[in-house]
Amino acid sequence: MTNNIQAEISIPRKTAELYIQANRDIEKRLGKAPGAEVLMSLVLEKENPMEFAEDYCEILLQKA
């Protein structure tokens, strides 16, 4: 059994295109690449949601 939770999300086309381009760049440099979805997953793992939440709140409170 895995600890992963499957999720289906919608993302803006521009965001998807950035990950697709990043994947192409990796493939160009290394000859193969993990795929845009894997890159998104790795970015999610790297980000700390609590730090993001704090930064998000600070930005919105500064604008208020």
Q: Is the pLDDT confidence value at 32 over 70? A: yes
pLDDT band, residue 14 (cuts 50/70/90): very high
Rounded to two decimals, the pTM is 0.69
Q: Greater confidence, 14 or 64?
A: 14
According to DSSP, residue 5 is labeled -
Mean per-residue pLDDT, 26-50: 90
Query: How far is the first Cα of the chain from the last one, in angstroms, to the nearest whole number?
Result: 46
Q: What is the pLDDT of residue 1?
A: 59
Tokens of 49: 């949601």
The answer to whether 33 and 23 are in contact (CB under 8 A) is: yes
According to DSSP, residue 57 is labeled H
Q: What is the pLDDT of residue 28?
A: 96
Q: 18, exposed or middle or buried, with CB in 10 Å at 0-12, 13-18, 19+? A: middle
